[in-house]
Structure formats: C-alpha cells, structure tokens
Amino acid sequence: MEKFLQQKVLDNTIESYLYVLGTILLILLIKRLISKYLAKLLYKLVAKAAKNIARQSFLDLVVQPLDVFLVLIISIIVLDKLTFPAALNFTIYHVTFRQLIDSITAGTLVIVFIWLCLRVIEFIAMILEEKANLTKDQTDNQLIVFFKDFFKVIMVIIGILLILRFSFNKNIGNLLTGLSIVGAAIALATRESMENLIASFIIFFDKPFITGDLVKVNNFTGTIEKIGLRSTRIRTTDKTYISVPNKQMVDTIVDNITLRTQRKGELRLEISLSATAEQLTTLIPAIKASLQKPGIENTVVYLMDTGKNAHIIAIDYFTSMDQSMEEFNALRESVNLSLIALLEKSGIELAAANTDVVVRSK
C-alpha cells in the first residue's frame, strides 16, 4: 500500500493527490458550517448598529460569498503544495500554462473578494436605511440608495484594477498615468454620462425633490421612485415607468406638487348674456356661500370678464394637501353639483355653445 501511495503521477505522488483531494472534499462538506460561524462572528461585531435588522438577513447576504471564498482559498493553499507537472508547463502565445492558471486563479480570487465586499456594502446600506426610516425626512433614504450604487461602482473599478495587476501583471501606476493622458478623449466620449453624474450630485445636495415626491416634468406627472447615478425613475399617473436623465431634471422646470401648500380647484362659469347685473350681484355671494364646505380652506370668486359671448365668473378654491386625490375629486364633484343647483334655483343659464343665426327677409 505504501509503495502504491508513493508512486508518482505527473511529478507528484498519489499520496499527495489524495491529500489534496481529501482536503478539498472536506472543506466542501463543512464550508457552510464554517461560513455561518464566521458570518455570526461578523454579525456580533455590528450587532449594536444592526439591532433592528434580523440576523438571518445578514447571513443571507454574506454566507454564500464566504462559502465560495473559503473553498477557493483552501483549494489554492493545498494545490500549491503540489509540484506543477513539467509535462503541463507548455507555452501558449508566449505565456506558460502555469502562468495562465495562476492568472485565472488570481482573477477568480479577486472577483469573489469583490463579490463579498459588495454584499458588505449591501448590509451597511441596510443598516443605514433602517436608521433613516426612523425619521420623517426621506432625504437620508435617497442619499443611502445613491451612495450604495456609487460605492458599488467604485468597488467594481477597484476589482478591475486588481485583476489587471495580479492576473495580467500590469503596473497600475503606469496604467493610471496612461489613463490620464487619454482622459480628455474619454471625457469627450462619456460627456453625457458625466453630465448626468454631476447632475445627480446637484439633485442630492440642492434637493429640488426627493424620493416619494409627486412632480411634473415636461408633459409627465408622477412619483419619484428612485434617483440613480444617471437617471431619475418616475412612476407616472398613468402607471407607466419612465427614466429621465438627471441633467434634464436639473435643466428643466420641475413642478414639485408635493411641496404645494394647498391644492387648487379651478372653474370658469360662462354665464349667458341674458343675465342682468342684479342677478350677477346676487349670484356671486351665493357661490361663495355654496363653497363653504368641509375641506375647502380658501375661496376666490369674482366676475373676471364680460364680452360679446358670455359673462365669465372665475371660481378658485383651495384645499389641504393632506387630502388624497380621491377625496379631492369627490369634493370637486360636490362643488360642481352645488353650482348646477344654484344656477337652476336662480334661473340663470350658462352661455350657449353655439349662437343661433336668424335670417330676416325684407
């Protein structure tokens, strides 16, 4: 048996192969236990800050990348104990097979590490969101979403640089110097993206609107659902989902309906020219009285204009923004019905849409 174990295959004994294989199989069997144990230790470190977040949420985020990272690290360590077979050390395009394997291994290790870091960023954002939800101000939630995406992008860039360094043996310093030389060209090529990124910072610090606000932009009205690095996502009143570039959100006039102090109802009554001045003098106070309804805070009623087709009475009434749209529509219906009843009672008619033409013969 000893003789069999000491036989060499590809420059390594069978015993060495069995040792490596056994170690890898063992770590595959117990990886979940070790990962959960390590994750629980990490959770204890942040337990005070994350006391309102379930431990299972943290475990769901980090256990899987820890599994892969652990298996990868152990596999690299034990495989390194083997002698690389000379028969496999051939050259492919001026690169030896061993160098290729080392590069792939280093790249994979970097990718898994970045994956783990991204999950940690997710958890930190989860903690901050939990704390931000304790306040009424939605600005904090908005900033958390933005910077979560921002740091994820930074982490991915770091990962790419690390892969270039350890997998392709590129000097990062020289690479960054080279990037500075072509920086102008890149800036021109990505000008629109950079403008949108800068606009996103302007939105966050100037705060013309925040997530959850009802806004009107150009011909669209809807609720802000997310402000990203490049665009702002809006759920319109038609229930469609649109993305507006942040630069356009900064350059365009944005009507933040949420910040209105009152909601306005507007009506223009076109009264028939047959109505007398006395009737109009009586009608206007009657309209004001009919607008004394629960929910209406202020009213403006006056004879706005008179002309060859009609007398125009302007009616504006204002309600609290605390009312839902359904409540406001119900109130508007009630106002309209009251005005119809008032006109019928007063014997006053609205101006006709068409003018009758009478032809008289001589």
Mean pLDDT in residue range 241-254: 90
Read off the pLDDT of each residue in 172-197 and give the average, rounded to a whole number. 64
Quote the tokens at residue 139: 């600005």
Average pLDDT of the residues in 276-283: 91
The DSSP letter of residue 88 is: G
The rounded mean pLDDT for the chain is 81
> Would you state the structure tokens that stand for residue 197, as one six-digit string?
């990124």
Q: Element (H or E) spanning 303, and its range?
A: strand 296-306
pLDDT at 312 over 90: yes
Between the alpha carbon of residue 305 and those of residues 63, 269, 271, 281, 302, the distances in Å are 73, 10, 10, 14, 9
- pLDDT band at residue 44 under the 50/70/90 scheme: confident
Which DSSP string do the residues of 239-294 spell out, in sequence order? Answer: S-EEEEEHHHHHHS-EEEGGG-SEEEEEEEEEE-TTS-HHHHHHHHHHHHHHT--T
Question: Is the pLDDT assigned to residue 360 strictly greater than 60?
Answer: no
pLDDT beyond 80 at 4: no
State which H helix or E strand residue 339 sits in: helix 325-346
Give the model's pLDDT for residue 67.
Answer: 85
Q: How confident is the model at residue 37 (pLDDT cuts 50, 70, 90)?
A: confident
Q: What does the DSSP assignment read for 39-77?
A: HHHHHHHHTTTTTTS-HHHHHHHHHHHHHHHHHHHHHHH
Q: Which amino acid appears at position 174 of this protein?
A: N
Cα gap 129→281, rounded to integer Å:
59
Report the greatest alpha carbon distance in the chain: 136
Q: Give the best-scoring range by mean pLDDT among 10-24, 56-70, 177-191, 271-285.
A: 271-285
Range 186-208 average pLDDT: 76
- Asked if residue 147 has pLDDT above 80, the reply is yes
* Amino acid in position 69: F
Q: Which pLDDT value is given to residue 54?
A: 63
Lookup result for tokens 């230790």 = 41
Q: Quick one: average pLDDT of 312-338?
A: 89
266-278 residue pLDDT tens: 999 999 998 899 9
Q: Is the pLDDT of residue 48 over 70?
A: no
Predicted local confidence at residue 106, as pLDDT? 87
Task: Give mean pLDDT, residues 314-335.
Answer: 88
Residue position matching structure tokens 């170690």: 23
For 303, the token pair is: 């004879």
Q: pLDDT tens-digit profile of 94-143?
A: 777 778 888 888 888 899 889 888 888 888 888 787 777 777 766 677 77
List C-alpha distances in Å: 258 to 155, 201, 212, 215.
36, 21, 9, 7
Count of H-run helices and E-run strands, the chain? 11, 12
Q: Identify whether the C-beta of residue 195 lies closer than 8 Å to the C-beta of residue 165.
A: no
Segment 245-256 mean pLDDT: 90
Asked whether residue 252 carries a pLDDT value surpassing 50, the answer given is: yes
**Backbone angles phi and psi of 211, in degrees to 5:** -60, 130
Could you tell me the pLDDT band of residue 210, with boundaries at 50, 70 and 90? Answer: confident
3-state secondary structure of 311: strand
The pLDDT-based confidence of 335 (bands split at 50, 70, 90) is very high
Q: What is the pLDDT of residue 359?
A: 44
Rounded (5°) CA angle 51-54-57: 130
The candidate with the shortest Cα–Cα distance to 13, out of 23, 2, 1, 5, is 5
Q: Choose between 86 and 68: higher pLDDT.
A: 68
Predicted pLDDT at 188: 53
Calpha distance 39→334 (Å, rounded): 61
> Distances in Å between the alpha carbon of 339 and those of 169, 264, 324, 327, 345?
81, 17, 23, 19, 10
More confident residue, 137 or 14: 14
Band (pLDDT 50/70/90 cuts) for residue 181 is low
